Chains A and B, each alone.
Chain A
């Protein structure tokens, strides 16, 4: 199609299609210049360490001198290490709390979104723990949960016996899970709140007109529309539960009593920086990475299949 301008010049009228422009950009070598700095940083600080870590895991390096190749010795040893087994069990028990970890912020976000609670103040209050270093949070809770800490003082004021939350093998993991959820809860509320804001109110109104009660609206309208947020948050907490518990547990319980709260990431730290076995620690890190990556991959696959259905 052609168009004549007032000046009598004839130009081609181009339909506003983004495809060719995108293709042009993709083929333009100058684009590489813009990508290069970030790519270099990623490769140097993310990709190379991963491969170097895999290499180290195949050595008997003690942190001194040059690494000596030892094949899969470290990996074989992992399967005979009782602390690895105990730590893996502890991580699995923490992962069992992921449904609560995912659902609780959703519930609070919905209540805030629907005006049941004063949103602004609560959101700020929920996020404050995220502004505090996990290590500091661990220290704070070690005082709060101590035998003569405020929580036990409250229990005693109610006529109950104080509890050694952090020194009793039966209560300590529950206490750790509680603090882990508390530490990340606020960010979850923020993510879900952002997702809720994007849901068209007319959908909820229509459901109400059709006679859906609050729980039905939540189950059939809100939650399905928050699938991508839920998936993202699940990946975040799953990763946290398996690879990022260290700073909090280190200061809260040190992995004890016994090995009741020793997790894989805490043990990796101990192996590398307390036991002088960085190569063995790296092997454990590599296995953890592979397992967590596989679980997340399965999670994405399942989610995609559900979306396709």
Chain B
């Protein structure tokens, strides 16, 4: 995993980045707002991943040092913030209401973050170097009416992980992953017959498993346009494209292919079950691949094993597309007194070198297409190469289907699907209730 040689290489890379950014520093020095202590500026960064992703803090320390070196008089104050969406919202509301706080905020793309706060964010179109913007994918998920309000820290996708050893145990070919829903069900049946739980998972409390499963299954049924149309309320939740997708999810549950405790376990426990080998497959997100394999290098965190982890990047179908969109994005609040410096800092976080370093260090999938993903985790994790070939392979791509919904709709969906799986209401009743909330938005 992360060796001292690799860290040293990264440090050298950042020294080079620092030198390259020196020119930008000279420019910035000339546009320092008056009133700062002799041009001294502190850029406060709120970062949700700082304490939640192995290796993130170390890499950010290097980026910050490189930026400070390239921009004399600028200090980066990198603050770790919660990933809990409700607690994070409270922080953001307090900051935006007070009109003061950090200069750079990491937040979710689209309806979970950037779209909500767009009116209080600084457009970055003219503050970030065009060459960097041209290299980025996922900007549509952080833009409103052509204005770019956030730069993706990476990209996110939905995948199904599987345990190759358990597949072999059930007589399945571990190298021939299911390609569509029918093959998925056939594999699940074989696993169950062999006494293996086909799907680990937890849908208790938050109900997040339902949206993950939905976004995993949707590309096999609907098109990317369908996903957008559902989000925009042009296609109802009672439409066959939604109902057919959800029926697949319900079929998996009704066949007894999920862990018996799926209804009451939380999402994290379900994921833990998969990494502990207590389930053969897991509806999941792409950025967790290193964690699923070997705990992202943390021997105490578990994992099914580097060679043992298989990945199904997308399930084929008549309207197949690969859901790939922005991961958490960097934004500059409108109240920042130093938007130009903050934007330049984001530019450094987004350039090919940094995004490649993020990929190399902890498998964060780059949104900068110029980043080289041939080394690092691609060499370490065989499944990473399989996943990258699909999700960064170009072509039609879009955010996972559920990420186009507004928060009340997503919450209602999760709650209603809990009731459907629990058997207290029908799928149609559930989606009628979700549509009622959608109509109120």
Seen from chain A, the residues whose Cβ lies within 8 Å of a Cβ on chain B are 62-65, 82-83, 142, 145-148, 164-170, 251-260, 262, 269-270, 273-278
Q: In angstroms, how far is the closest chain B Cβ from the Cβ of A303?
A: 38
Residues of chain B within 8 A of A252, CB atoms compared: 205
Q: How many A-B residue pairs have CB under 8 A?
A: 109
Interchain nearest-CB distance for B149 vs A (Å) = 13
**Cα–Cα distance between A126 and B89 once the two chains are bound (Å):** 36
Closest to A277 in B: B408
A167 touches B204 (CB 8 A): yes
Interface size on B, as a range, is 35 or more
Residues of B within 8 A of A64 (CB): 93, 96-97, 117, 119-120
B233: interface (CB < 8 Å): no
Given contacts A63-B96, A257-B418, contact A276 B116 (CB under 8 A): yes
The minimal Cβ–Cβ distance linking B177 to chain A, given in whole angstroms, is 29
Instruction: Determine how close the nearest CB of chain A comes to the CB of B433; give it in whole angstroms.
Output: 8
Contact status A274-B85, CB under 8 Å: yes
Q: Which of the candidate stretches B123-131, B158-166, B260-268, B287-295 sits at the interface with the other chain? A: B260-268
Contact across chains for A166 and B204 when beta carbons are under 8 A apart: yes
Contact between B415 and A257, CB atoms less than 8 A apart: yes
Chain A nearest CB: distance from B271 CB in Å? Answer: 16
A65 and B266 in contact (CB under 8 A), knowing A167-B418, A270-B411?
Answer: no
A260: B residues at CB distance < 8 A: 419, 424
Cβ–Cβ contact B89 & A274, under 8 A:
yes
Q: Secondary structure at chain B's binding surface: helix, strand, loop or mixed?
A: helix
B424 to chain A: closest CB distance in Å? 4
Given contacts A63-B96, A274-B411, A276-B116, contact A256 B264 (CB under 8 A): no
Bound: A170/B437 CA distance, A: 24
Nearest 6 pairs of A and B residues by beta carbon = A258-B419, A167-B263, A257-B418, A147-B261, A254-B205, A169-B424
Q: Is the pair B96, A146 in contact by a Cβ cutoff of 8 Å? A: no
Partner-A contacts on B (CB < 8 A): 85-87, 89-90, 93, 96-97, 116-117, 119-120, 204-207, 260-261, 263-266, 406-408, 411-412, 414-416, 418-419, 421-422, 424-425, 430, 433, 436-437
Closest to A162 in B: B260
> Which residues of B have CB within 8 Å of A147?
260-261, 263-265
Select one of B261, B264, B408, B416 contacting A275, CB under 8 A.
B408
Contact of B261 (CB < 8 Å), options: A146, A256, A274? A146
Q: Tell whether A142 pairs with B89 under 8 Å between CB atoms, given A64-B119, A169-B419, A169-B424.
A: no
Is there contact, CB below 8 Å, between B407 and A256? no
Determine whether the beta carbon of A273 is less than 8 Å from that of B418: no
B201 CB to closest chain A CB, in angstroms?
13
Q: Which residues of B contact A169 (CB under 8 A)?
A: 419, 422, 424
**B408-A251 in contact (CB<8A):** no
11 A-B residue pairs with Cβ-Cβ distance under 8 Å, sorted by A, are A65-B119, A82-B433, A83-B412, A164-B263, A167-B421, A254-B206, A258-B418, A273-B87, A275-B411, A276-B116, A277-B408
CB atoms of B264 and A167 under 8 A apart? yes
Give A39 to B19 CA distance when docked, in angstroms. 59
Bound form: Cα–Cα A254–B203 in Å: 11
A166 cross-chain contacts in B, Cβ below 8 A: 204, 263-264
In angstroms, Cα B419 to Cα A182, docked, is 26
Q: Which of the listed residues A145, A253, A269 has the most CB atoms from chain B within 10 Å of its own CB?
A: A253
The 8 Å CB contact of B260, one of A148, A269, A275, is A148
